[in-house]
Amino acid sequence: MTDFRPLLDELRRICGENQVLTTASDVEAYATDWKRSAKGTPLCVVRPANTAEVAAIIKAAGSHGAAVVPHGGNTGLAAGATPGNHGDEIVLSLGRMKAIRDLDPVGMTVEVEAGAILQTVRHEAEKHDRLLPVSLAAEGSAMIGGIVSTNAGGINVLRYGMTRALVLGLEVVLADGTVVDGLRHLRKDNAGYDWKQLFIGAEGTLGVVTAAVLRLVPLPRDSVTALLSVADVETALGIFTLAQNTVGDALSAFELISATSISLVEKHAGLKSPIAAGEWYLLVEASSSLSGLETAMETLLTEAFERDLALDGVVAASHQQAQALWALREHITEAEAREGGGLKHDISVPFGAMADFLIEAGNAVAAVCPGAGFNVFGHLGDGNLHYNILLNGAADHEAVNRAVHDTVGRHRGSISAEHGIGRYRLSEWLRTKAEPEQRLSRAIKQAIDPGGLFNPGKLLPKTSIAGGAE
């Protein structure tokens, strides 16, 4: 067993005595994931104040043979920020590095440190009539470094793309402690390989993202939200086409919610759907800097009723009503956690395959887990569903995962549309990802973090780098 006391002393010299946490109660919150399904035993938690301290920590860790697990708001759903169990990994919390360094409303960019809370940056942008268009239920805790490192999705991907589409520049610290300053506020920059793309969605396995330049958009002045109920997913997809034709490029969210998800939210969050039930619900949002959205949304609902697509529906008449409709969607994850027994999947398939996927995956899961419930909801407009299974008692998790992911594979979909691989989906990634793609991923890791310093056992197995078994 390595004696890490000299390393701990060095970390205290770098960050200050109080910023190196070692007691079980102090590190507890950093040693488990949001779902509390993964647990680890870190050597310590370090909380640097700036990029220079991050670089010094990484150099120190590398020279003493400890690994580094970057840690943001801990809202991820793949256990990508949870340390391993051998007491040889430092959790590097970016939470103290939260400055908004620069906000340019004319160039529409914001330069921000990794520990800034997403919601805080969004609020700051709003003061300047700008929007940072990453919106997710966890935005009150999620940090920019984690948002970038997981290439976070959320409810507005349909309109603005994933986080990747918003990153203009990054500052990262590499395994040897080099600080790479790519914090350029440029819309156009074709000068060589776009290396920052590798760090976006790398889940902290290649380096530490310490700051980012993100693109802003004009703040929509007008926004309309509607809730509809429908009988089946084919019909929901028909309404999606209708929405694209009536609401057009103002369409900013198109979410699917199953009747089971609504029941869970009604049961655990004390909320109530204002419309008559269907098998499925659609939460549709349009937003724009121009007016006229309400008319467009009403046209959508009128046509949906005239064509017998919608069973019931309502357009929110005020901001409060819109928030109440969104609360039904935003409380699903929490309600599922309270219900217990949820086994999460984050899948995407091509639009044309969505209805077949649901039938086939339902049958496949029922075959291996009779009596399972289905808490299905998600970003239908992106072809991405959270296909969460409610297990009643003991179940073979791996068999359920295989049932879902094999169905995804038959439709050339993805087993992780937006949450990442982390620890949670690693074995399924290894089982389902084609060998050339795995080889390419290992080659990237080998080129940038050859010693396997960063986030071992996440996204790729530890053995592929260090050669030793986990």
Q: What's the token pair of residue 162? A: 């994933």
Which of residues 133 and 461 has its CB atom nearest to ligand 2HG in the complex?
133
Nearest to residue 330, comparing CAs of 190, 130, 136, 49?
A: 136
Which of residues 252 and 333 has its CB atom nearest to ligand 2HG in the complex?
333
| Minimal distance, residue 453 CB to ligand 2HG, in Å | 29
Which of residues 77 and 453 has its CB atom nearest to ligand 2HG in the complex?
77
| Minimal distance, residue 159 CB to ligand 2HG, in Å | 15
Q: How far apart are CA 108 and CA 128, in angstroms?
A: 10
Angle in degrees, CA 150, 140, 58, rounded to 5: 45
Which of residues 142 and 209 has its CB atom nearest to ligand 2HG in the complex?
142
| Minimal distance, residue 137 CB to ligand 2HG, in Å | 5
Task: Tell me if 341 sits within 8 A of 391, measured CB to CB.
Answer: yes
Tokens 């301290």, located at residue: 53
Which of residues 137 and 275 has its CB atom nearest to ligand 2HG in the complex?
137
Q: How far apart are CA 186 and CA 184, in angstroms?
A: 6
Which of residues 420 and 452 has its CB atom nearest to ligand 2HG in the complex?
420
Nearest to residue 385, comparing CAs of 355, 425, 421?
A: 355
Which of residues 288 and 388 has its CB atom nearest to ligand 2HG in the complex?
388
* Cα dihedral value 426, 432, 436, 440, nearest 10: -20
Q: How far apart are CA 451 and CA 2, in angstroms?
A: 17
Taking CA atoms, 199 is separated from 32, 68, 320, in Å, by 23, 15, 38
| Minimal distance, residue 195 CB to ligand 2HG, in Å | 28
Which of residues 246 and 388 has its CB atom nearest to ligand 2HG in the complex?
388
Residue nearest to ligand 2HG (CB): 333
CB atoms under 10 Å from CB of 176, counted, come to: 13
Binding interface with ligand 2HG (CB under 6 A): 77, 137, 333, 344, 378, 386, 388
| Minimal distance, residue 432 CB to ligand 2HG, in Å | 19
Backbone angles phi, psi at 9, to 5 degrees: -60, -45
Q: How far apart are CA 33 and CA 131, in angstroms?
A: 29
> Phi-psi bin for 108: left (phi > 0), alpha (psi -120 to 50), beta?
left
| Minimal distance, residue 378 CB to ligand 2HG, in Å | 6
Q: Where are the alpha helices (DSSP H) in 200-353?
A: 233-246, 259-269, 293-306, 319-330, 332-339
| Minimal distance, residue 3 CB to ligand 2HG, in Å | 41
Taking CA atoms, 14 is separated from 22, 52, 61, 230, in Å, by 16, 9, 12, 58
Taking CA atoms, 262 is separated from 37, 118, 287, 327, 373, in Å, by 24, 27, 24, 11, 13
| Minimal distance, residue 339 CB to ligand 2HG, in Å | 12
| Minimal distance, residue 454 CB to ligand 2HG, in Å | 24
Which of residues 47 and 344 has its CB atom nearest to ligand 2HG in the complex?
344
Q: How far apart are CA 350 and CA 105, in angstroms?
A: 37
| Minimal distance, residue 386 CB to ligand 2HG, in Å | 4
Which of residues 77 and 301 has its CB atom nearest to ligand 2HG in the complex?
77
Eight-class DSSP state of 60: H
